[in-house]
Amino acid sequence: MSLCSNCNGSLFSFRIQDSPLILEKLRWESGPASTPNPEEVIPILQQAQRELEYCEKQIKTLESRRESLRVYAG
């Protein structure tokens, strides 16, 4: 994980903090041995999609910052 050179904080953060729990729930409750209940799985998939979109936005922001620093460093 990349850290900020000024504050040593993380440059990238996830909105969902319980992703291991979500993955475990998907494995056990909706894995190959189970009969998935769409009412339970669909919200999890939608939340995962929103998280991916958020991560993509953060990546674009970081890439933009990197490019600005390259121009500044010239």
pLDDT digits (tens, 9 = 90+) for 11-48: 666 666 677 777 777 777 666 666 667 787 788 889 99
DSSP letter for 15, please: S
Q: Which residue has the tokens 């933009």?
A: 64
Q: Under a CB-based contact definition with an 8 Å cutoff, are residues 11 and 3 in contact?
A: yes
Q: Report domain extents, the chain.
A: 19-73
- Integer Cα distance of 57 and 72 in angstroms: 23
Is the full-model pTM beyond 0.75? no
Nearest in space to 19 (alpha carbons), one of 51, 53, 65, 46: 51
